[in-house]
Every structure is written in C-alpha cells, then in structure tokens.
Amino acid sequence: MTMPFYVSPEQSMKDKADYARKGIARGRSAVVLQYDGGILFVADNMSRTLHKISELYDRVAFAAVGRYNEFENLRLGGVRYADSHGYAYDRRDVTGRMLANAYAQTLGTVFSESNKPWEVEIVVAEVGEDADSDQIYRITFDGSVVDEKGLLAMGGSADAVTTALKERFDRDAPLSEALSAAMHALAHENGERRELDAANLEVAVLERAREHRKFRRIQGARLTRLIEQGRGASGPSSSAASGAAEGSGDSGAEDADS
C-alpha cells in the first residue's frame, strides 16, 4: 500500500502559482489604456481570427493573455452571463464590476480546487460617461482583482512593458498617439526591441461617443492609417529620448507627464 506524499498547502499554492506564471510568460503581451475617446486595447497577436480582445456587452470588453482554450472558455462564459443578465433585467444593469467578480470567483475556485491552475490573466474594462467613470479590472490566475487606473500591461514581460507604457501614456491623447504609445511599450517585450506593424497587432476600442454597442475592432486600412498618424506625431524612433517630435499641431500633449 502506498501513502501519498505530504505537500504543505503553502508549497502547493506556490508551485501552482509558479506554474501559472511560467505559462503566462510564454505568450506575448497585451496592453489596455485610456485615450481621449475611451479605452484602447492592443495585443501582440499574429492571428486574425483567434482573438485576445473581445466584446462582452454594450460598454464592456475583455482582453486576455495566456492559454487560448482557457481564456476562450472564460470569454464565452462572460458573454453568456452578460446576455442572460441583460435579458432578465435591463441592458444598463450589466456592469464590468459584475463580470470581473464572476471571473475572479471562477479563477479563484479553479486555482484552489484543481491541480492545474489556469494559465491566464484577463482584463475586464467598462467605458463610462466620462474618463473618470471608466473602470479597468485586472484579474489574475489566482482570482485576485485589481482596480487599475489609466493603463495596464499583462503577459510575459508585464513590468518592462508597463514601464515603457508609462513613459508615453497620456489619458487625454488622441487615438493615434495612444496607439503609438502602446506599440512603443509592446516593442519592449523580453528585453528585445521589435518593430511592430499592422500584421501582428490586434487593436480594438471601447468608444465613448459610439451609440449602443461601444466596442469596435480597428483593422485593415484604418489601422495602417492610425499607425502612420502616430508615427508622424511622435517621430519614427521608438526611443523615448528622441520623442521631441517634428510632428505637427496637437502633439504638445507629448510633454505632459503621466
């Protein structure tokens, strides 16, 4: 008769957390940040069809990094929860906080009860009436929730990406500049300096001024145009030091410190 080895709860939780972190670190990063018209989502994603960023409900969107099959399940669950709730009550009664709580409880349970934690990190963001009422929640693999202000990065090198994003972040920047800041940040992944272009970016916005459903993907010619505009405003170099733009007009926002 064999006896199972005793593993202390501390050790077991630590092992699971290390496992999840390693899994998440293998994937590319994603960033979420406010801009003057709402909330911008940018993910480093080669695929046109396997999305990391999706619509959950009228004002609420979802972004994730990590294992696709696991966060896809979460996304589907969120869509069904939001649609059922909105149908049972009213469309206005579906909130980002509600969805963030459901995700936190779900991930928390999986983390503590199953042997294999889910290797995902997700964001639920809700665009409000004005910039101050926007909500951005980060939910990690163990079910903890953080109410983030203004910007966040998640994925393998979240710290490096966050630092790079903070250099350029401005809540009141137009979309092209916010996108340029996001691309600048994502280029700092894994200590490498990569040149990102429209082909490996997944971009979407929650647009405050839009009617009914605020979520919109930005792709194709529109994305290329926005990237060009962003380059024009902040200079072609990805280095922050050379950010003194030759660009025109409203790029004065560049000087504003976050």
Which residues are near other proteins by CB under 8 A?
49, 51, 54-56, 73-74, 76-81, 83-88, 101-103, 105-106, 108-109, 212-213
CB of 53 to other proteins, least distance (A): 11
Give the CA count within 13 Å in the CB-facing half-sphere of 234. Answer: 30
For other proteins, give the closer residue by CB, 104 or 165.
104
Residue pair 78/96 in contact (Cβ under 8 Å)? The answer is no
C-beta of residue 168 within 8 angstroms of C-beta of residue 182: no
Minimal distance in Å, beta carbon 182 to other proteins? 22
Query: What are the tokens at 38?
Result: 């709402």
- Find the shortest distance in angstroms from Cβ 28 to other proteins: 20
Q: Which is nearer to other proteins, 117 or 243 (CB)?
A: 117
Beta strands 120-126; 135-139: pairing state: antiparallel
Q: Which is nearer to other proteins, 45 or 106 (CB)?
A: 106
How far apart CA 182 and CA 245 sit, in angstroms, is: 17
CA-to-CA distance for 54 and 99, rounded, in angstroms? 14
- Ramachandran angles phi, psi of 43, nearest 5°: -125, 145
Nearer to other proteins, 58 or 177 (CB): 58
Q: Name which of 141 and 169 has its Cβ closer to other proteins.
A: 141
**From the CB of 141, what's the least distance to other proteins, in Å?**
14
Dihedral pair phi/psi, residue 122, rounded to 5°:
-130, 160
Shortest distance, position 112 Cβ to other proteins, whole Å: 11
Q: How far is it, in rounded angstroms, from Cα 241 to Cα 153?
A: 22
At which residue do the structure tokens 């589907």 appear?
76
Choice between 58 and 189, CB closer to other proteins: 58
One-letter amino acid at 59 equals R
DSSP output for 82-94? HHHHHHHS-GGG-
Report in angstroms how near the CB of residue 105 gets to other proteins at its nearest: 4
CB of 75 to other proteins, least distance (A): 9
Taking the least distance from each CB to other proteins, the nearer of 83 and 142 is 83
Cα separation, 78 vs 162, whole angstroms: 27
